[in-house]
A and B are shown apart, each in its own frame.
Chain A
């Protein structure tokens, strides 16, 4: 099991927490663990025709969220962005046919596999944010 899944499983199993406390703790784990997985900033990645630079990223303890400042361009043309970007309950897993996290849907029987990959999940999440604002 991945480290993040271990933390979340422990939160799920903690009978002393209320539902609201558990929800908040999971939210915190996800935001913190993603922040911990990020390289030194600023850093840039280039999905497709986008170039996205993560100028800063910080864990917001008051809201248990991840706050990110981005700049981006598409085919060399800067994209105006509504910074900062705040992520609540950010994803930590990505679809992966070889992943060890298996989710089975009881109705359809679908078996889906995921890998714990906070940096890849972060990139996908940020790309989505840029894609929406570049429309």
Chain B
């Protein structure tokens, strides 16, 4: 058994769209402003009601060091909160989305429809949001097969309200929060992924399988 802890890659970041209309902001139309940030200290997920700003985070982890010959049996995503503005509680959702091509760009924004089409990997209720300890997301079985053992593993982090196009109620009922992003120096608040793996029993496939979730890179069928 091997327990591999991978701290976040500093290419992570977030995108927000602001607009008078929630329908516009949630689908990536930002008449009131937009930004793509991969250099800041924090990542954000949720919605700010007074300006109608919708925020979505993008995470990456260099998982190439996970032993290629081993089978992943468990994955835990952990984030450290910085500010809890979830007056209305939501569920944070990490979904399989490879945003690596060209780095983080506006094209990576996911609409509610697009979010719904992605596989849920892990979730966390903001009722338990913490700014003093790591928040350990509850993983889905699909997470194990999603780990890319030959490169980086990418996710999008949003909320269940965004996925279901549920507009926030009036201010000040915010439903957003910030979490620490990864830094090149590495801090003890950086996002982390804990991956448990073990040698495959003889004759057992160790990689991704046909019919499973494909590699993080590109939606091609996986390998045995």
Contacts and interface: CB of A to CB of B under 8 A. Distances in A.
Interface residues of B, number: 40
Contacts of A114: 185, 187
Interface of B is mostly: strand
B42 A8 contact: no
Interface residues of A, number: 44
Contact of B41 (A89, A110, A124): A110
B3 A89 contact: no
Given A88-B65, A89-B9, A107-B37, A129 B185 contact: no
B184 A26 contact: yes
B83 interface: yes
A125 B194 contact: no
Given A91-B187, A129-B194, A107 B5 contact: no
Interface string A71-94: 000000000011111111111111
Interface of A: 4-5, 8, 12, 23, 26-27, 30, 63-65, 81-95, 101, 103-108, 110, 112, 114, 116, 121, 124-125, 128-129, 132-133
B6 A88 contact: yes
A86 B65 contact: yes
Contacts of A121: 186-188
Contacts of A5: 185
B42 to A, nearest CB: 5
B89 interface: no
